[in-house]
Structure 1
Amino acid sequence: MTLLLLLPLLLLTLHTAVNARLLRRPHRGATTGERVAVLLPLRDEAARVTPCLRSLLAQRGVPDLTVHVLDDGSTDGTADVVRALAGDRVRLHTGAPLPAGWLGKPHACHQLAGLAGDVDVLVLVDADVVLAPDAVAGAVDLLRRSGTGLLSPYPKIVGSGRLVQPLLQWSWLTFLPLRGMERSPRPSLAAAGGQWLVLDRAAYLRAGGHAAVRTEILEDIALARAVKRSGCRIALADGSRLATCRMYDSWRELADGYAKSLWASFGSAAGAAAVVVLLLLLYVLPPLALPIAPGTALLAYLLGVTGRLITARATGGRALPDALAHPLSVVLFAVLIARSFHRRRRNRLSWRGRPIRSEIAE
């Protein structure tokens, strides 16, 4: 183990630290006079929508705020839960049947955007997100201060998956130049998290809205790229002080969720294999090499751990002992990637009871 391994690890860890320093954050206590519509697509979310909806009803600092909820063919009484909790304080809509050539979430969001009417800002949230009372106002304020058409404030991830979930934030803090992404017009240089998105409505329409990403598994990243293609800028932000997201309650849920979409994060199976090999060499090989080259291997391992510690501190995650298990996290991530590609080849992709057809996913 030589400088050929230590140098890239050092540079990546320094890059993580720089990104953490530059990471945008919404202000607490912000206000906005803009017309804002919160869009909440729901499909079989009766058991988890209540905290999300209560947090939306508690928003402050946005006098002209409407909340639109779409029941997308739920079979578990989701609409009844919304009515009982919110009454006429939200606008509950019944989703249209899923047309050919569309995936479920893009279609639900497309409908909601059309139902929102003539507003200035669209705020998309998932049912597993709980917002602080000033979260919407803070995010809209940051959207305007950053001069972007799309802002992705990443919430604090809670619940199952402490070994794997932090890799989401770690990956873009480590490998993505945040300010370069904002300045670059290249659509390929884009990232976003669909749990919480804030969009200038004019930029959204110019980009073609969700109709432009109707077949995309990762519709959040595809929408960010569409916004870039239309000539607008995008930005990532740390939203951990203003939002939490409980994506999964068990390892099985996490594995199924990752299987649905992880394959789409890579251009091809060959591209995924190259990424996996690189991650294994950088972050898994060092602890395995401790008996052979203890000094160098320990330093390499500690550089990887340091990157995780920086990420946790910057994004509200738990630093220890999670960061110490970073090599194991990378191994589990590699297994999930392989499982996702395997299920895609077997045409076994589905979510919320809907099969994801390979011909659409291509």
Structure 2
Amino acid sequence: MLEINVIYLFLLLFQIPFTLVLLARLGTAPSRILPLQRLSSDEEDKAKQEPKVSVVIPTLNEVLRLPNCLEGMRDQAVAEIIVVDSRSQDGTGEYVQKLQPDYPAKLRLITDDPLPKGWVGRPWALHTGFLNANPDSEWILGIDADTVPQAGLVASLVQKAIAEGYDIVSLSPKFILKTAGEQWLQPALLVTLIFRFGATGDRNQFTQERVMANGQCFLSRKSTLTALSGYELAKSSFCDDVTLARMAAQKGAKVAFLDGAELIQVRMYTSMAETWREWGRSLDLKDAATRLQTWVDCLFLLAVQGLPLPLLMVLLIATFGMGATINASMLSWTLLGLNGFLVAIRWLLMFGIRSSYTEVGLWFWLSPLADPFAVLRIWISALTQPKQWRGRTYES
């Protein structure tokens, strides 16, 4: 019994401090910046006459994803749309060329140079687009090919940036999940970000070391990118969006990460396996943080997201199960209550993130059961360096 109580005490000493950190982060949600909304018709008309925006879309074998993105960008308030293709083999470049007559003087296709040593493909393509943008443009908007921009996205985003004086602002999207596996795993992975950085629009994310960003929709003043030498500072990062945003914040730029669920949607991956493999590979954010920050975050997630459900089940069985032989001590009751509290918070959070998804089913609501696996994925990612990414192979 003494040995069990020592284990209980160790777990409490491990979990309680991280639980207090979690409550402090989630407690700021009521004061977060409200989700971005589409402007009125008059405001949109005015926005079209405001600073010019160059949109850069990096592509590598995106012919199946790109149509929805380009259609969504067709009537946006932008000066140009630059598709930077990295020698796709699926006809992406030919598809863009075919569409160009429907986008007079607006849609451009650039094939980037072979990937230089030390660069990751995505920041290299974005850097190429930045270097080739219209000299008169005042803003650069990076958009991923798997996004579905909604009407008024660019006008609303630029208007918000100007009104608040942001140098860089990115948006969280509304996710499109179709398979049961995606609906079960993806929200659990998303929650790893919310637990570490708070809700989207949380003003605490504006501090240099906690800055968050999303490269799926990433707007920057061109002058800010110029001062940063484009994407040079994030050239080797597999989370170039967060890396660049944090570098910019360290140099004095005003950076924000806002809720854009009403203005942009995304179909990131098509299966649970792809979600595990591709998204989970960069969610540790180790390329944008110190080694200490990465491992503290891993321990934090283990304490508040990975352990609560398994511990709760074990403690319930040990205390109330048939044939239970352990006499519940004050420590066991405290540990039971703490982990029950954390599991309750996690399930209540499902109602908070519901608006971040287009459609949900039973598996979405059961996604807290995937939490131990989501935390395991973060640990695996933190312990390894990606060797393959979006069709490219990189040296270790």
TM-score bracket for the superposition, by shorter chain length: 0.7 to 0.9
1:19 Cα deviation (Å)? 2.0
Q: Distance in 2 between matches of 1:339 and 1:103?
A: 20
1:180 corresponds to which of 178, 198, 204: 204
In structure 2, do the counterparts of structure 1 residues 93 and 272 end up closer, same or farther at CA, with 3 Å as the change threshold?
same
Partner of 2:215: 194
Is the 1:283–1:301 Cα contact (8 Å) retained in structure 2?
yes
Q: Given the alignment of the two structures, is residue 72 of structure 1 paired with residue 72 of structure 2, yes or no?
A: no
Give the secondary-structure state (helix, strand or coil) at the position aligned to 2:183: coil
Give the secondary-structure state (helix, strand or coil) at the position aligned to 2:28: helix
Aligned pairs, number = 348
Is the 1:260–1:350 Cα contact (8 Å) retained in structure 2?
no
Q: Given the alignment of the two structures, is residue 117 of structure 1 paired with residue 134 of structure 2, yes or no?
A: yes
Partner of 2:117: 100
Give the secondary-structure state (helix, strand or coil) at the position aligned to 1:301: helix
Q: Distance in 1 between matches of 2:242 and 2:296?
A: 18
1:312 corresponds to which of 349, 354, 364: 354
Partner of 1:23: 33
What amino acid is aligned across from residue 181 of structure 1 in structure 2? Q
What amino acid is aligned across from residue 228 of structure 1 in structure 2? A
Q: Distance in 2 between matches of 1:273 and 1:175?
A: 9
Q: Distance in 1 between matches of 2:67 and 2:131?
A: 24
1:214 corresponds to which of 235, 245, 257: 235
In structure 2, do the counterparts of structure 1 residues 99 and 300 end up closer, same or farther at CA, with 3 Å as the change threshold?
closer
More displaced 10-residue stretch of structure 1: 161-170 or 74-83: 161-170
Q: Distance in 2 between matches of 1:226 and 1:220?
A: 10
Give the secondary-structure state (helix, strand or coil) at the position aligned to 2:184: coil
Runs of 4+ in 1 over 6 A off after TM superposition: 1-4
Query: Which of the two has higher C-alpha Rg?
Result: 2
Q: Distance in 2 between matches of 1:100 and 1:284?
A: 44
Alignment of 1:31-50 (within 5 A): 31=44, 32=47, 33-50=50-67
Give the secondary-structure state (helix, strand or coil) at the position aligned to 1:209: coil
Give the secondary-structure state (helix, strand or coil) at the position aligned to 1:142: helix
Q: Given the alignment of the two structures, is residue 336 of structure 1 paired with residue 377 of structure 2, yes or no?
A: yes
Is the 2:269–2:275 Cα contact (8 Å) retained in structure 1?
yes
Q: Distance in 2 between matches of 1:97 and 1:299?
A: 52
Q: Distance in 2 between matches of 1:277 and 1:173?
A: 14
Is the 2:26–2:195 Cα contact (8 Å) retained in structure 1?
yes
Is the 1:149–1:204 Cα contact (8 Å) retained in structure 2?
no
TM-score (norm 2): 0.78
Partner of 1:83: 97
Q: Distance in 1 between matches of 2:30 and 2:115?
A: 40
Q: Distance in 2 between matches of 1:195 and 1:181?
A: 18
1:238 corresponds to which of 259, 264, 282: 259
Coordinate RMSD, CA, aligned: 2.9
More displaced 10-residue stretch of structure 1: 154-163 or 191-200: 154-163
Partner of 1:277: 302
Q: Distance in 2 between matches of 1:356 and 1:261?
A: 15
In structure 2, do the counterparts of structure 1 residues 251 and 276 end up closer, same or farther at CA, with 3 Å as the change threshold?
same
Q: % of aligned pairs identical?
A: 24
Q: Distance in 2 between matches of 1:192 and 1:289?
A: 38
1:25 Cα deviation (Å)? 2.4
Q: Distance in 2 between matches of 1:143 and 1:283?
A: 41
1:193-250 per-residue CA deviation (whole Å, 9 max, x = no partner) reads: 1111111111222223201111111101111012112211111111111111100001
What amino acid is aligned across from residue 227 of structure 1 in structure 2? A
1:21 Cα deviation (Å)? 4.6
1:11 Cα deviation (Å)? 7.0
Which stretches in structure 2 are left out of the alignment for 5+ residues? 1-7, 320-332
